[in-house]
């Protein structure tokens, strides 16, 4: 286990003249420092109890840590003291109902209440909460849940540690849930078939390919799966998830591009087909690496064009979704098409049957230096899907540029 180190902000001078730390009112204090596995050196081991807390010893009329040097008023293992001591006066504790985990500061420390320290403490809180919310750090603490203290009224609360709470309190694995995997496809497919009008989020493909951004957990409950959706802030029951509306089109409109309202789309397609020598082909598994390279190129071009940071994050998260879709396209029963120009992949698109009359276009990525390529591959793909009445291009994630692009194809509904 890696050692946890943090920047210290309390001046040494203040600590050396203070009589709060390292002393405890009673001898089984749950506040006695706990050592994490990577911190237990041979010299420390004999002084720890079964929970890896320091055994306390009588000191004046109270108790003190075994490593406390009363004569010098300092720690005798200062450079090897545990993270628990380094963290103090900042504290990680459960809330009163043990439903959340709080990061706070103990009012007993004179530094925490001294006027003028507010800004320094606030900045440090931000630094600490960013550090403690990192998944590897939260996992390390979650493996040693005794590290998390009980609720104390004299700790000033700063923020909730949601990642840690997810691991310690709500961990779905402990409640019989499993992470979604390819072998679960049949169960989910059967379940979603029962929904009369499934939107693009209510299908196995989307849940599976986005699982690195939002892990999905499920267990069988009576006949149907109970599904939990993991967000940064915790777990949400799948049924209570709110989603942006999907864009749905008549397939024929997109395949024919007839009339004045589609004249720009038609012109783009015509430009592309006249200007470039290309091949429009079914996707094959040996095209995977070239498709992913194209994704990276496309994503960096999109980032340069659009400054929206939320969109940038979405593009970053999309890589794993595209990778999972492309790698597992057969098992996911996707249909894929590519365009090759000069024998290189210049565009790809994938989709799947959402319901009997509706095909969902899941991914589309193009090398935008080829003018009209996006309009062309979309039209060709829709032209092929003659067994469907409707095309669903999913939602716009609340992004203006996606909204404009999806509206430009004249949806019949945004459902
Ligand atoms: S209570 Fe605060 S000031 Fe006093 S020794 Fe502990 S950390 Fe230092
Ligand atoms: S390990 Fe050191 S810093 Fe921690 S309580 Fe004991 S004496 Fe104090």
Instruction: Give yes or no for a contact between 291 and 338, defined as CB atoms under 8 angstroms apart.
Output: yes
Q: pLDDT value at position 311?
A: 81
Indicate the top mutation candidate among 8, 18, 64, 75 to test ligand 2's pocket, ranked by most ligand atoms within 8 A of CB. 75
> What structural domains and CATH numbers belong to the chain?
12-166 (no CATH), 172-240 (no CATH), 247-414 (3.40.630.30)
Return mean pLDDT, the chain.
91
Q: Please give the structure tokens belonging to residue 206.
A: 């989307």
251 CB near ligand 2 (under 6 Å): no
pLDDT at 2 over 80: no
| 370 vs 146 pLDDT, higher one | 370
172 CB near ligand 2 (under 6 Å): no
Q: E strands within 343-389? A: 344-355, 358-366
Q: pLDDT value at position 223?
A: 83
Taking each helix axis from N to C terminus, what angle separates 309-327 and 288-305, rounded to the nearest 10 degrees? 170
3-class DSSP assignment, residue 341: strand
Region 81-97: mean pLDDT is: 93
User: Could you tell me what percent of the chain has a pLDDT over 90?
Assistant: 67
Q: Please give the structure tokens belonging to residue 366.
A: 């193009």
Q: By alpha-carbon position, which residue is closest to atom 5 of ligand 2?
A: 22
Instruction: Give yes or no for a contact between 296 and 316, defined as CB atoms under 8 angstroms apart.
Output: no
**Minimum-distance ligand 2 atom for the alpha carbon of 84:** 4
pLDDT in tens, 388-397: 999 999 999 8
Q: pLDDT value at position 29?
A: 65
| 27 vs 403 pLDDT, higher one | 403
- Model's pTM, two decimal places? 0.68
- The residue whose two tokens read 């429009």 is 280
Q: By alpha-carbon position, which residue is closest to atom 5 of ligand 1?
A: 15
Rounded CA gap, 340 and 278, in Å?
6
pLDDT in tens, 15-35: 989 999 999 988 776 778 999
pLDDT in tens, 214-250: 899 999 888 889 999 888 777 888 887 777 889 999 9
pLDDT at 415 over 80: no
Distances (CA, A) of 130 to 7, 76, 120, 215: 13, 30, 16, 21
Indicate the top mutation candidate among 89, 91, 108, 155 to test ligand 1's pocket, ranked by most ligand atoms within 8 A of CB. 89
Residues 6+ apart with CB under 8 A from 196: none
Beta strand 101-106 with 90-94 is antiparallel
Neighbouring C-beta atoms of residue 201, cutoff 10 Å: 17
């Amino acid at each position: 286990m890696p050692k946890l180190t943090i920047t210290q902000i309390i001046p040494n001078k203040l600590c050396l003249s203070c009589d709060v730390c390292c002393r405890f009112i009673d001898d089984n204090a749950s506040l006695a420092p706990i050592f994490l596995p990577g911190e237990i050196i041979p010299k420390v081991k004999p002084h720890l109890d079964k929970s890896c807390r320091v055994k306390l010893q009588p000191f004046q009329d109270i108790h003190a840590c075994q490593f406390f040097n009363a004569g010098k008023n300092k720690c005798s293992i200062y450079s090897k003291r545990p993270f628990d001591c380094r963290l103090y006066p900042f504290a990680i504790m459960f809330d009163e109902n043990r439903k959340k985990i709080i990061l706070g500061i103990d009012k007993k420390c004179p530094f925490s209440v001294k006027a003028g320290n507010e800004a320094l403490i606030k900045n440090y809180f931000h630094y600490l909460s960013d550090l403690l919310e990192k998944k590897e750090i939260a996992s390390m603490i979650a493996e040693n849940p005794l590290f998390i203290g009980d609720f104390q009224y004299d700790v000033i609360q700063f923020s909730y540690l949601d990642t840690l709470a997810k691991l310690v309190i709500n961990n779905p694995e402990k409640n019989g849930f499993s992470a979604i995997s390819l072998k679960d496809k049949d169960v989910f497919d059967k379940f979603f078939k029962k929904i009369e009008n499934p939107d693009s989020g209510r299908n196995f493909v989307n849940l599976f390919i986005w699982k690195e951004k939002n892990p999905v957990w499920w267990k069988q409950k009576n006949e149907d799966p109970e599904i939990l959706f993991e967000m940064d802030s915790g777990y949400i029951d799948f049924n209570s998830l709110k989603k942006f509306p999907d864009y749905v089109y008549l397939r024929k409109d997109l395949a024919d591009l007839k009339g004045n309202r589609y004249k720009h789309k038609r012109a783009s397609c015509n430009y592309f087909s006249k200007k470039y020598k290309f091949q429009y082909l079914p996707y094959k598994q040996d095209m995977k690496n070239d498709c992913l390279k194209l994704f990276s190129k496309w994503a960096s071009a999109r980032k340069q064009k659009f400054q929206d940071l939320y969109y940038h994050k979405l593009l970053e998260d999309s890589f794993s979704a595209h990778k999972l879709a492309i790698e597992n396209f057969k098992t996911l029963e996707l249909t894929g098409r590519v365009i090759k120009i000069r024998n290189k992949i210049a565009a790809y698109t994938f989709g799947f049957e959402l319901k009997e009359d509706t095909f969902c276009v899941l991914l589309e990525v193009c090398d935008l230096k080829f003018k009209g390529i996006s309009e062309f591959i979309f039209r060709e793909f829709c032209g092929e899907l003659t067994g469907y009445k409707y095309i669903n291009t999913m939602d716009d994630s609340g992004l203006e540029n996606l909204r404009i692009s999806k509206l430009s194809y004249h949806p019949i509904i945004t459902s």
